[in-house]
Amino acid sequence: MKGIVFFDYDGTLVDESCKIFRPTATTLSSIEKLRENGFSAILSTGRAKCYVPDTGITWDGIVASNGAYAEIDGKTVYSNLVDDALLDELMERADELGYVYVLENQDVCYTNGMKNENFLKMLNRFDINKEHFRPVSEAEKPCANKMFLTYESEEDYGRIKKAFEGKFVLGVHRGSFSCDCDPVGNNKGIGVRRMIEYTRIDPQNTYAFGDGPNDYGLLSSAGHGIAMGVHHESLDSICEKVAPTVAEEGITAALKEYGLI
């Protein structure tokens, strides 16, 4: 293995705002060429493994649930579960605050919102198949690597944020009344660092592509952090390069510029 390249999914490989719901043919070809050249391609996403759609890419591993889970070559190298007390508190406040929660696990996710209209709209917006979700009542013992929430309004989000201040970090999904809900300290960088430690690869031979605030740890933990053309301003201070947008085939352009393909 010459190195590792980590790819965020939403906003990096795809861009729902441009109706690009799957990686383009050019991106597919470039990542395959990257692998042929001796680099491992790792999907690094806020999504749980089970509801990542079929991208057409042969991944060598995944950093999922914003870094709470990592595997390479079929071997789990890191999996961190949310503290039981925090999980119970989140679930207990659901009725009071009126939000839908999802408990993310890598094989199946559990939710109290299987029939909630906003939840189903959010799944549709991000092209997520609802078959990967089950009623929380079916969980033998509720647990989660990460959660995400849907709600009715900005005011609802404000109440949720206040209720869990100092306990969870909320990352709003663009264009949707939904957000990731991570325990303080969880981020993609943790999964990336665990994978680098496991493979013993030189960090200078690692590259990461991302666009959102939840990619801060991803880009700062790799040897070379690349922000997409449309990205959150928080990445400006830590990215080494800004690639063109998804629609402009930014992944391919940057891989070529670095001489990886």
Taking the C-alpha atoms of residue 149 and residue 111, their distance in angstroms, rounded to an integer, is 9
Asked if residues 46 and 10 have their Cβ atoms less than 8 Å apart, the reply is yes
Query: What mean pLDDT comes out for the span 217-226?
Result: 97
pTM for this model (two decimals)? 0.91
Secondary structure class of 245 (helix, strand, coil): coil
Tokens of 105: 């696990």
Q: What is the pLDDT of residue 118?
A: 86
Query: What mean pLDDT comes out for the span 120-147?
Result: 90
- The CATH class of 84-183 is alpha beta
Q: Is the pLDDT of residue 202 over 90?
A: yes
133: alpha, beta or left? (left if phi > 0; alpha if psi -120 to 50): beta
Residue 121 CB coordination number (10 Å)? 14
Secondary structure class of 160 (helix, strand, coil): helix
Q: Is the pLDDT of residue 98 over 90?
A: no
DSSP state of 244: P
- Kindly list the domain boundaries of the chain, sorted by start residue: 3-80+186-257, 84-183
Q: What is the pLDDT of residue 173?
A: 84
Query: What mean pLDDT comes out for the span 69-74?
Result: 96
Query: What mean pLDDT comes out for the span 40-58?
Result: 93
Q: What is the pLDDT of residue 61?
A: 97
Q: How confident is the model at residue 244 (pLDDT cuts 50, 70, 90)?
A: very high
Torsion angles phi and psi, residue 47, rounded to 5:
-75, 155
- The CATH class of 3-80+186-257 is alpha beta
Q: What is the pLDDT of residue 97?
A: 84
User: pLDDT exceeding 90 applies to what percent of the chain?
Assistant: 75
Asked if residues 42 and 5 have their Cβ atoms less than 8 Å apart, the reply is yes
Q: Which residue has the tokens 């198949």?
A: 129
